[in-house]
Structure 1
């Protein structure tokens, strides 16, 4: 009798680590709870965005514009880039998956800092590529010299996450240009700028200027964070036309919904209001950082809409203590906890927790 077998996925599929999303808060009687685990924008949609989205909801029986024509035109005008240099997808994370799918053969190496964005090892493994993780510094920064040294003949892609999620620091333009000078021209460099709107530092990276000067750089950005469209999942990449074309070639047909496209366009048009909200979040970030440091914590520089507590084996205890006061954080077991900048009341509770938690 022939032995019965079942279909088996590729070997790498069984090795893909699970993505752990930020969990919602536990409801507590008499206490407003806050979700500070997913780096979401605490503000409601910008003016005009809901109206723009609702204008498309009535067309849900029709497919969206697969070519994202109006969205590309709006992005091209807003950032002064050619339409041919754009690629949109369901969040910037989808673009990272597409880049690895388009450029990596099985076994090719992808170099990135660690700890960094949780989706990187998932995307690398899904592409049957090999992760080369370079430890961040003691202050949570990219060690760009070590990353350059980690590049080998098998390296196809390097990822620079700036600001780095979840630790917070951003690289400088000077350091990035020095790093790019060491990267072979055939190696693709992803500049992941999901939190670019929150950066306030000297010599900040100008991702669009970098892409204009370096043919091997892809800049990825998102509408999920500063623009507050996390539920709609729309991100975009800016790269030289051949690279952007490769991303569009492997993209999921009709991947960006018409509602998401309309909301993104309306969000770009509401930039004045967006910038005011971002400034409020940046001010709250400074207040939280100052308060946490005043409580005795040595936390890294924060350039995103979150801060990082390096807690080691106390991480679970910290997350539990946060839960008790009605805020939920994002723990990384044995390493630390990332806490989003949220509503002022939530931020007050975090500052109080920093003062009371046993260090």
Structure 2
């Protein structure tokens, strides 16, 4: 088949690399390439989703009951909540509402892979601010990069794929210095996995900063990755503008029913999250003991900083039964999965260090 596109399309779209999800795992391997829970859905959630059988009817486009439940959970009004098909869909809406040709959207890099694509779709320009030497979002550098063309700043905490977090106090100082009419989105898709009390929880600042919007999701900690439910918290007039860029009826009745059900399972959700965060910390400590320079993660994954060796290390992991998410030239993100995945993961990582000893912490720090 010819690679020539037979019709006229935007050249920047043709040049843009499409988002690719984590690769599936072959038999006898563990899929640690996507940030999803390894546990089966809760029985009550399955019952709620399968009970929503009126497929002949459109779902509630406003997700009224779910918005009300989320508003009650956060002590907000329903007008301060916007529900969409995962937080990534809502981020697309936000970028489309905020920026167009000639405008700039700023975000840390490396960060969530979908950011560049959503900016390109809007016709705006990306301003990618490098992470600092500790793989953390560099808020000071972001402040320095603001221009009169900046329309939106996205801060991902915990940051995907490094797992590092922004502190509450530094984010507040950041907001104090950002122009009050400049939109800031705190992308907190992994907030439920945070265990450090100094880490950002942007809901504490929502009342004081009308230009702040918070993006969260039920795909990760709540185990609804396959049903696509996310939400934004923020100023009602800002969210209403985002709503005008939405594709109607994206959140199915089944997804809404499952979301309402899983919100009633707080204890079960917390128990599962606790298991993942404990395993995350155990894996990180073991990798550090091996010699890996692993940054502290507050998400449900760890980051292997491999640089130009990322694809070679990825091959070693695959040979050991581990399918992770590789970012050529930077590193490998390994999601925390079922307990049985830990031993083969650590064994494969140890073999990678034996093959490439200059990836060890001491050598990396010497550079």
Q: TM-score range by the shorter chain?
A: over 0.9
Runs of 4+ in 1 over 6 A off after TM superposition: none
Q: Which residue of 1 aligns with 2:48?
A: 52
- Asked if residue 266 in structure 1 is aligned to residue 261 in structure 2, the reply is yes
CA distance in 2 between counterparts of 1:199 and 1:107 reads 37
- Asked if residue 211 in structure 1 is aligned to residue 206 in structure 2, the reply is yes
Q: Which residue of 2 aligns with 1:33?
A: 29
Q: Identify which of structures 1 and 2 has the higher relative contact order when contacts are C-alpha pairs closer than 8 Å and 6+ apart.
A: 1
Counterparts of residues 172-321 of structure 1 (less than 5 Å): 172-321=167-316
Question: How much has 1:352 moved relative to structure 2?
Answer: 1.5
- Asked if residue 61 in structure 1 is aligned to residue 56 in structure 2, the reply is yes
Q: 1:168 is matched with which residue: 160, 163, 169?
A: 163
Question: How much has 1:15 moved relative to structure 2?
Answer: 3.1
Counterparts of residues 64-75 of structure 1 (less than 5 Å): 64-75=59-70
Question: How much has 1:6 moved relative to structure 2?
Answer: 6.8
- Asked if residue 96 in structure 1 is aligned to residue 62 in structure 2, the reply is no
Counterparts of residues 107-186 of structure 1 (less than 5 Å): 107-186=102-181
Question: How much has 1:296 moved relative to structure 2?
Answer: 0.7
CA distance in 2 between counterparts of 1:48 and 1:297 reads 41
Deviation string for 1:76-104 (max 9, x for gaps)?
A: 11111110011111110011100010111
Conserved in 2, the CA contact under 8 Å of 1:16 and 1:126?
no
Q: Which residue of 1 aligns with 2:363?
A: none
CA distance in 1 between counterparts of 2:236 and 2:185 reads 15
SS in 2 for 1:269: coil
Deviates more, 1:313-322 or 1:232-241: 313-322
SS in 1 for 2:223: coil
Deviates more, 1:247-256 or 1:164-173: 247-256
Number of residue pairs aligned between Structure 1 and Structure 2? 350
* Unmatched segments (≥5 aa) in structure 1: none
Q: TM-score, normalised by structure 2?
A: 0.93
Counterparts of residues 338-349 of structure 1 (less than 5 Å): 338-349=333-344
CA RMSD of aligned residues (A): 1.3
Q: TM-score, normalised by structure 1?
A: 0.95
CA distance in 2 between counterparts of 1:202 and 1:296 reads 27
* Unmatched segments (≥5 aa) in structure 2: 358-367
SS in 2 for 1:181: helix
CA distance in 1 between counterparts of 2:325 and 2:110 reads 14
Q: Which residue of 1 aligns with 2:15?
A: 15
Conserved in 1, the CA contact under 8 Å of 2:280 and 2:336?
yes
Question: How much has 1:112 moved relative to structure 2?
Answer: 0.8
